[in-house]
Chain A
Amino acid sequence: MSGSSRGFWDGVVASLPVMLAVGPFGMIFGVIATEAGLNLLETMAMTTIVIAGASQLAALQLMTDNAPVALAILTGAVVNLRMAMYSAAIASQWRGAPLWARAFAAYFLHDQSFALSMRRYAEQPAEPQPGKIAFFFGVGVTTVIVWVGASYVGALAGSMAPPEWRLDFAVPVTFIAAVAPLLRSAPQLAAAMTAIVASLVLAPLPFNLGLIVASALGIAAGATLETIMARRAAA
């Protein structure tokens, strides 16, 4: 097997355990989108084009609030800003890779492909670049297939889920599952606590505008505390 085809299949295999989380999340999106009034085509178009569950759910929430469309797009984009960080990290490992590979990679850049690829690159720094790139795509392609398939199942099942299952609550719980592992350093915790307090205080603002302001305040708090702690450590 060539290095790149082995890398690809390694990526597929490495991503399988993670799919246990991607699958249910995709189904939740399908259910919530259907309940929000999107038809099957709209639900599937959104989940296939965006491929970013948290932002899809955030945009859906604004759509059910009947917010202006520009605000729904902006809020979804804010939720996805973390992917700029992923983009920079992957780019630093892919120096000199052809533009077509990087253009495709942007579509397959998710939490899963980022995290698993960075772990692989740290463990096998000597792997030739084609293998590194193929591993990333192995994870990314698997994620897209599972994500889109699970969204479809959720969309079909959506109208059948009884309200007492409280699947609406699965949305914040899924986000909690995504963010909780991060909250292990003081600056990350400061960012989260600041954002929580600000988002609750600013909640009366129309159309979730509080989200954007609270996010900015949280980011500023985390970065500021990091700077202060670095200065103390250096002094």
Chain B
Amino acid sequence: MSASTELTSAEIWIVIIGLGLATYLIRFSFLGLMGGRAPSPFVEKLLRYVPAAVLPALIAPMVAIDRETGGVAAPEQIIAACVAVGVGVLSRNVLATIAAGMGTLWALTALGL
């Protein structure tokens, strides 16, 4: 994410307010808008898989695709991400996972691999 945005200040504020409002309404959904009604079993089932689907769909291109060329990203980035996934699944510890991912990237870069 090295590039700067070319959005105007007004556009940046639209994103801030729009995303803030959308997020608030998602949070308020069942607490308020639905009058305390529980979601249907079908909706509940879909919602159960939102984090495990959305976050990997966000992560994978960030890690594996070079944003300048559109080709495959540097291997140290992909290896570091795999190490982080392994540590995260086994330890379930947020800080250990971040440390493993960043540490692997720094080590591989320093070694010039």
Contacts and interface: CB of A to CB of B under 8 A. Distances in A.
Contacts of B70: 203-204
A232 to B, nearest CB: 16
Interface string B42-64: 00111111111111111111111
Contacts of B47: 81-82, 84-85, 88
A142 interface: no
A123 to B, nearest CB: 19
Interface residues of A, number: 103
A76 B19 contact: yes
Contacts of A195: 52-54, 56-57, 60
A219 B38 contact: no
Given A73-B22, A191-B49, A175 B30 contact: no
Contacts of A189: 52
A203 to B, nearest CB: 5
A192 B1 contact: no
Interface stretch (A3-11, A42-50, A149-157): A42-50
A221 B20 CA distance: 29
A111 to B, nearest CB: 9
B3 to A, nearest CB: 5
Interface string A95-110: 1000100110111010
A183 B86 CA distance: 11
A200 B24 contact: no
B58 A181 contact: no
Interface residues of B, number: 73
Contact of B61 (A37, A77, A210): A210
Contact of A169 (B20, B34, B80, B92): B80
Contacts of A175: 55, 58-59
Interface in B3-47: 3-7, 9, 11-20, 22-24, 26-32, 34, 36, 38-39, 44-47
B23 A80 contact: yes
Contact of B81 (A70, A173, A178): A173
Contact of A183 (B38, B52, B61, B63): B52
Contacts of B34: 91
A215 interface: yes
A20 B98 CA distance: 12
B62 A172 contact: yes
Query: What 10 A-B pairs are tightest by C-beta distance, nearest first?
Result: A180-B88, A218-B53, A222-B49, A49-B20, A173-B101, A37-B4, A177-B97, A106-B28, A88-B30, A214-B57
25 contacts: A38-B5, A45-B16, A46-B15, A63-B5, A63-B12, A76-B22, A81-B47, A82-B50, A83-B27, A91-B31, A102-B28, A103-B32, A169-B77, A169-B101, A173-B81, A179-B88, A180-B87, A180-B88, A180-B92, A192-B56, A194-B53, A199-B57, A211-B58, A214-B53, A218-B49
